[in-house]
Structure 1
Amino acid sequence: MLAEIKGLNEECGVFAIWGHKDAAQITYYGLHSLQHRGQEGAGIVVTDGEKLSIHKGLGLVNEVFDSSKFTELYGKAAIGHVRYATAGGGGLVNCQPLLFQSQTDGLSIAHNGNLVNANALKHQLESQGSIFQSTSDTEVVAHLIKRSVYPRLEDKFKNALSMIKGAYAFAVMTENKLMVALDPNGLRPLSLGRLGDAYVVASETCAFDIVGATFEREVKPGELIVIDDNGITSEMFARSTSRAICSMEYIYFARPDSNVDEINVHTARKSLGKQLAIESPIEADVVTGVPDSSISAAIGYAEQTGIPYELGMIKNRYVGRTFIQPSQELREQGVKMKLSPVRGVVEGKRVVMIDDSIVRGTTSRRIVKMLREAGATEVHVRISSPPITNPCFYGIDTSTTEELIASNHSIEEMREMMGADTLAFLSIEGLTQGIGRPDEDANCGQCLACFTGQYPTEIYPDTLHPHDKS
């Protein structure tokens, strides 16, 4: 479903390129392909080998950039970022990449994820004299790099990485070097590609397809990659790594045409729909999915059950973003503007409505009501993920159990609240089996914290919302 109407948002997307004469323009197209990962702000920093230049702003990529901006963004390498504000909040000052200038050189940083010990590190740095220009947790890393006593930049960065905890995919660039790092748990996706002689890095492989690059490999958990005019080098900055990639990448966040850790997202979602059909079948006349991220699961559910799949809901792509609405009532009206039922498909029919997840439940209730108003005789809701009962601290804006409907209500209570005839979720076992990752451990190398409450990293007390502190 649309992130802005659903209340489930990922922090951002990162793109970087080294060794291309049109680096800024390539990055622009790369960010376009990652627009689904953040719609609040965008930015690009380029280097010509001597200085760093930046342009960033609030809004969508094509709102922030026009052709005139690229005359100011000449260079052989660039990093770019699209942002949805979670840690630190919004505003232009928190738009990335962040750019820092010193007497000796410049440093720019783009970050996807969330640092769970950022507040503790910030307090420590401020007590030592640091002054922060933004409220973003990403700025902490810049201060750690600059304060490091190591002479080489790579060692300064490694030293900073040894002190931070949480989820991060970093692209860090100076005038003559690009550094890329993924956290030891690999909570966020990050891939390496080639475009001719240039190296490309992106949060999702769909960005490679858009710019014409070829996929080389995934960035490994705990890996630091350094790219400059002499080529590429790689080393592990964290020896104890255990993959725990965010399950929501497969369920909801990533584009269907992306491969996340070498698993195609559309194929995984279709398999989740089939698993859901095996676990929770129902007699019905038509299966439909909430556009866009639930379509693949709906197709899988329909194939498994033999119930016809139909386009029962249409998304209006020309309506403004509803997350800016100031009240819940207006946000719900935004849902009605974004999605419209197809009366000719659902009228007089028993409908299975497939959705990928339920966060607060308000959108699901609105959609069930719309389907009934369009003439559906029955509405059976099937969710292609387990109930989200625990907050995420790694870059998704569900920071309290208080806002999660499944954390405070039984499945039957949720069914009554949304007005569905039946409601069923996919099991955790069905989730891991459906995604099909190698059976490395009980979690199949996935983070399941929002379903189980078992977090792959330590969660610091000042990260918790007061409601969730014990």
Structure 2
Amino acid sequence: MVTGIHEECGVFGIYTNKTSDVAAQTYVSLYALQHRGQESCGIVVNDDGVFSYHKDVGLVNQVFDKETLERLGKGNIAIGHVRYSTTGNCNASNAQPLVVRHIKGPMAIAHNGNLTNARELREQYENKGMIFHSTNDTEVISYAITEERLREPSIQAALEKAMYRIKGAYSLLVMSPTKLIAARDPDGFRPLCLGKIDDGYVVASETCAFDSIGAEYIRDLKPGEMIVIDKNGVNSITTHCGKKGTICVFEYVYFARPDSVIEGSSVHMARLRAGKYLWREHPVDADIVIGVPDSGLDAALGFSQESGIPYGIGFIKNRYIGRTFIQPSQTERTNSVKIKLNAISSTVKGKRVVMIDDSIVRGTTSGRIVKLLRDAGAKEVHVRISSPAFIAPCYFGTDIDSKENLIACKMTNEEICEYIGADSLGYLSVESVKKLAGNSKCDFCVGCFTEKYPIEVPKDMPKDKFESKISEKK
């Protein structure tokens, strides 16, 4: 059953001009991207056309140890992936990167996003006799590329043609025996950026991955752009470019790390703006402002700065448990909420508290967090949300729930406030959330807040396609 919200994946790739320990660099970078997916991960290393790989269910430090990294060996190209299943089951067969042995040579592929025509393409390929070993969109993309590769002279030409067939959101990394290729869908739903390292180049979902290995951020890939990195350097192919782009605004609200820069805008600054806009739209008399870790902290600071209400640390977060909504089952998610946060009584006791969080989906987790503050002695709890209310599902890589499970589709604002036990509740407006990125050069997808999507969504597309499992977030 579809019941909540998920984020999708993080990708990283590296190309160097000499054989080096690219597995270790990819490992460190995946650590930096761990927040984007905590279900499975993998690394593929290319040593002169020979692919070695390891992937499994678990966190980066659970799947890889020193011995595993040494077994992957050295090479000059590598790609890595951290995953949460927006489509497909939580098992090792769906872990990425996907490695394909093809008549034209091996290929590895890692994908962040969701295709809107995956089911249609899957049925077409199955009717041609193609066999699927997983339930994720990445294998569909691999067949689109390999089918074109039989007719095209190069892997990049095959991908260029395949991009006419695949629809929806995708940030891709494709590794051939001699090249690292990165591509972003024509609408630019998901982030993807290019960086420079001493003897080569790196590509990642977020710039925080570059910081972890001392790489220099160069720029974001343009919507629809494909770049080919090989011994000749970086070549840009812009056949599918032309749109301004509509990146998912929730990258700024929640998904990205605050130290990342996306489309030229600081995520930290975007969240500060969210807090400032919240104060302007929903002022309240209070004694202290606190944020729900982690994505609520920056917005709480912005609210405090704009309002003059003191900022305080209201919760201690258990750093040894992942984001609650990325737990693969409802039981695990519920148990993790109980041990993830603890309210600091000395901060909130006897005070009128403003609690800043990034979203409310079903309301149950928000209700538990409000109760933590009540039990710690808070006199009043005023909840402010640094995004608009969810009223529609997402089809582009963020598994925001079906309408039947979104609390804002079933209750009024006043009823939600009562349900979670708050004294007042205010959401950021759609108009303000569009302004969070400041000087960003692109527009934003806000379909989950407005039910107006940048591209057409098939009316018969089920939200739980290919056994998508979605656990509750809040």
TM-score interval (norm. to shorter): over 0.9
Q: Is the 8 A contact 1:221 1:242 kept in 2?
A: yes
Identity fraction in percent? 51
Tell me the distance in 2 between the aligned counterparts of 1:181 and 1:103: 23
Structure 1: unaligned runs, 5 residues or longer? 1-5
Q: Which residue of 2 aligns with 1:294?
A: 296
Cα shift at 1:465: 3.6
The answer for the alignment partner of 1:119 in structure 2 is 119
| Aligned partner letter, 1:403 | N
Partners of 2:395 and 2:463 within 8 A in 1: no
Residue-by-residue CA offset, 1:282-309 (whole Å, 9 max, x unaligned): 0001100001111000000011111100
Retained in 2: the 8 A contact 1:17–1:200? Answer: yes
Question: Could you say what secondary structure the match of 2:100 adopts?
Answer: strand
- Secondary structure (helix, strand or coil) at the match of 2:435 reads helix
Secondary structure of 2:432's aligned partner = helix
Query: Hey, what's the Cα distance between the residues in 2 that align with 1:377 and 1:9?
Result: 33
1:407-437 CA distances to partner (integer Å, 9 max, x unpaired)?
2211111001101000011111121233324
Residues 253 and 320 of structure 1, relative CA distance in 2, 3 Å threshold: closer
What is the alpha-carbon distance in structure 2 between the residues aligned to residue 319 and residue 240 of structure 1? Answer: 42
AA aligned to 1:359 is V
Aligned to 1:253: 255
CA distance in structure 1 between the partners assigned to 2:314 and 2:253 by the alignment = 21
CA pair 245-325 structure 1, distance change in 2 beyond 3 A: closer
Which residue number in structure 2 is paired with residue 456 of structure 1? 454
> Which 10-residue stretch deviates more, 444-453 or 178-187?
444-453
**Structure 2 CA distance for aligned equivalents of residues 50 and 303 of structure 1:** 54
**Residue ranges of structure 2 left out of the alignment (5+ in a row):** 466-474
Look up the match of 1:180.
Answer: 182
Q: Distance in 2 between matches of 1:232 and 1:325?
A: 38
**8 Å Cα contact 1:287/1:298 also seen in 2:** yes
2:289/2:310 contact within 8 Å kept: yes
Partner of 2:471: none
2:58 partner amino acid? G
Tell me, yes or no, if structure 1 residue 8 matches structure 2 residue 5: yes
Alignment of 1:65-144 (within 5 A): 65-73=64-72, 74-144=74-144
Residue in 2 aligned with 1:445? 443
Structure-1 residue corresponding to 2:334: 332
In 1, Cα distance between equivalents of 2:333 and 2:76: 43
Q: Contact between 2:38 and 2:322, CA under 8 Å: does it hold in 1?
A: no
Equivalent position of 2:359 in the other structure: 357
* Alignment correspondent of 1:277: 279
Structure 1 pair 223–321 and aligned structure 2 pair: CA distance change class (3 A): closer
Instruction: Please report how far the alpha carbon of residue 399 of structure 1 lies from its aligned counterpart in structure 2 after TM superposition.
Output: 4.1
Q: Secondary structure at the match of 1:101?
A: strand
Indicate if the aligned counterparts of 1:275 and 1:434 stay in contact, CA closer than 8 A. Answer: no
Offset of residue 210 of structure 1: 0.4
Query: 2: distance between equivalents of 1:28 and 1:332?
Result: 30
| Pair 446,437 (structure 1): closer, same or farther in 2 beyond 3 Å | farther
Partner in structure 2 of residue 316 of structure 1? 318
Corresponding residue to 2:211 among 200, 205, 209? 209
Please tell me whether the aligned partners of residues 15 and 78 of structure 2 are also in contact (alpha carbons under 8 angstroms): yes
Aligned in 2, Cα 1:288/1:198: closer, same or farther, shift over 3 Å? Answer: same
Q: Is the 8 A contact 2:5 2:401 kept in 1?
A: no
Query: What secondary structure, in the 3-state scheme, does the structure 1 residue paired with 2:293 have?
Result: coil
Runs of 4 or more, structure 1, over 3 Å off, are 319-328, 330-333
Question: How far has the Cα of 1:373 moved from its partner?
Answer: 0.8
Cα deviation 1:19-60 (Å, max 9, x = unaligned): 151111110001000000000111001111221111111100
The 2-side partners of 1:333 and 1:224 are apart by 43
Letter in 1 for 2:88: G
- RMSD across aligned C-alpha pairs, in angstroms? 1.8
In 2, the alpha carbon distance for the partners of 1:395 and 1:269 equals: 21
How far 1:319 sits from its partner (Å)? 4.1
- Once residues 327 and 252 of structure 2 are traced to their aligned partners in structure 1, the CA distance between those partners, rounded to angstroms, is 26
CA distance, structure 2, for counterparts of residue 384 and residue 52 of structure 1: 44
Aligned residue number for residue 367 of structure 1: 369
Contact 2:249 2:444 in 1 (8 A): yes
* TM superposition shift of 1:321: 7.0
How many residue pairs match? The answer is 457
Distance 2:226 2:437 in 1: 27
The answer as to 2:144 corresponding to 1:147 is no
Shift of 1:325: 7.3
Relative contact order higher in (CA < 8 Å, ≥ 6 apart): 2
CA contact (8 A) 2:114 2:169 kept: yes
Provide the C-alpha distance between the structure 1 equivalents of 2:103 and 2:362, rounded to a whole number of angstroms: 49
User: CA contact under 8 A between 1:437 and 1:445: conserved in structure 2?
Assistant: no
* Cα displacement (A) at 1:239: 3.8
